[in-house]
Amino acid sequence: MKLSVIIPMYNEELIVEDTVRTLDATLCRDFGEGEYEMIFVSDGSKDTCQAKAEAMKAEFPALSVLGYTPNRGKGYAVRTGMMAAKGDFVLFTDCDLAYGTDVITRFYQAFAEGDKDIYIGSRTLDKSGYEGYTFTRKLMSKIYIKYLNLVAGFDHSDSQCGIKGFSQKGAKAIFAECECDRFAFDLEALLYAKDMGFTVGEIAVKIINHRESTVRPIHDAIEMTKQVNKIKKRRKAKQKAAKQSKS
């Protein structure tokens, strides 16, 4: 199987059916039956999104639906999907398909034709990447990326972009080690990828479908800092343990 697409969702009953149809149409067109799967993961949703997705499985054979309670966070949902995925290339994006669906094919083509293990979306590679963002959201995003470059040793242009793809080998190895359930799970995955020697490429993306932002600048900045510190401690402990096992 060429491709697995993971869709984490929390209370998405208003859009989940359209998302399944839109996503399947693109994947069927570009990959063909049997060459892709769609894994929708309900992150402890309190509405009917999981039931609605389940009801569509008969019509869409490539669709799988996972879920659990209580709510754990997007990172946990993505991790659940990654560990269940069967595709050669495993990609996650949001339920609103913020970056569109054609971009998924671009990611797969880059993987199939390139030499990288991981491809991440970046809004900073093209001037159109932040089109439609509010000033506050754009400012917070750029400040956070600079913060990660300096504090966490992140060496790419956009850690928080909501579309990323991994080789099957990379997905299983990296997400088996991840523990971050919420905000900073992307960063954790990419830092472990670096430690494990996986290579990373970047693809310019832009948001096509904007939703109302839920960013809370002060609260989220404090929470991000806490999680980054926890990731650094876990990473340091893993690196120490790895050195000890080799000695």
Length of the chain: 247
Under 8 Å between Cβ of 91 and 3: yes
Q: Which helix (H) or strand (E) holds 38?
A: strand 36-43
**Looking at residue 111, what is its pLDDT?**
98
How far apart (Å, rounded) are the C-alpha atoms in residues 191 and 185? 10
The amino acid at 136: T
178: domain CATH number is 3.90.550.10
Q: What are the backbone angles phi and psi of residue 162, rounded to the nearest 5°?
A: -85, 25
Q: What is the pLDDT of residue 134?
A: 75
For residue 110, the model assigns a pLDDT of: 98
pTM comes to: 0.91
Q: Which domain holds residue 32?
A: 3-246
Low-confidence ranges of the chain (pLDDT < 50): none
Q: Into how many domains does the chain fold?
A: 1
